[in-house]
A and B are shown apart, each in its own frame.
Chain A
Amino acid sequence: MTTSASFKRSFDSIAEIFAFTAAMFEREGIDKQILPAVDLALEELFTNMVKYSTTTTQPVQVEIVPIASGVEVTLTDYDVEPFDVTKAPDVDITLPIDARHPGGLGLHLIRRLLDSIEYEYTKEVRRSRITFRKMHSGGPHGLATHKGGTNASD
């Protein structure tokens, strides 16, 4: 069953998002081993939307669907410019500490924790949609599929 909620564009919503995922996992009997990775991906993607799409006040919609061996999560952001999270460069984790910065680390991390992530932008309605999947152990760590840049208007 799809579980859906909308969250105000504020870091204060993060605790509500975690409560939302925990309740959904409990209700649907989903293995909680994957919950930290799902929470981390949601936090990183949500906070990116809050930080970089500052011209809208629309809430961010989150949907979670149980699938075989895991969950599929979709974040939808309305009235925003496109930003394809799947195209963000990896962080060079071999740099010495003086050259390290936290920027970009969130997207770098979720690409290693998730099994797939896709981005879609619909120009006519200025809507960004990110869909990711996280499977239980047994599946590969890191992205099994890595699609992005789909523009439904093109």
Chain B
Amino acid sequence: MLAIEFGPEGGVVIAGRLDASEAPRAQSFFDQVQGTVPVDCSQLEYISSAGLGVLLKTQKRLLGSGGKLKLTGVNSHLNDILGYSGFDQIFEIERAR
């Protein structure tokens, strides 16, 4: 189950599991964001390649207009996935404390 919403100050808060069944809904949400957007991932338990695809498509679009996604609160598992995917070179990542 995935929960995704705008948080304080225009950021995005994403929680739960971003898998292939939830990716279309997540993509629809991210298609609305503009500019440089922090994404609070501290409650994101799981992401698969379908979820990574959502982040990649959004990052490409935002970079084209001078914006970007910044991933914050990234847990150890998520950090491993981002690293194995090379997404640590594409996204600004802030680890969970």
Per DSSP, are chain B's interface residues mostly helix, strand or loop, or mixed?
helix
Contact, CB under 8 Å: A47 / B46: no
- How many of B's residues come within 8 Å of A, CB to CB? 25
Q: What is the number of contacts between chain A and chain B, taking CB atoms within 8 Å?
A: 65
Contact, CB under 8 Å: B20 / A43: yes
Per DSSP, are chain A's interface residues mostly helix, strand or loop, or mixed?
helix
Contact, CB under 8 Å: A47 / B85: no
Residue of B with least CB distance to A112: B84
- How many of A's residues come within 8 Å of B, CB to CB? 26
Selected from A11, A44, A93, A98, the residue in CB contact (under 8 A) with B85 is A93
How far does the alpha carbon of A124 sit from the alpha carbon of B1 in the complex, in Å? 40
Contact, CB under 8 Å: A11 / B20: yes
How far does the alpha carbon of A136 sit from the alpha carbon of B83 in the complex, in Å? 20
- With an 8 A cutoff between CB atoms, is B90 at the interface? yes
Contact, CB under 8 Å: A106 / B48: yes
Show the binding face of B for A, using Cβ within 8 Å. 1, 17, 19-21, 45-46, 48-50, 52-53, 56-57, 59-60, 63, 77, 80-81, 84-86, 89-90
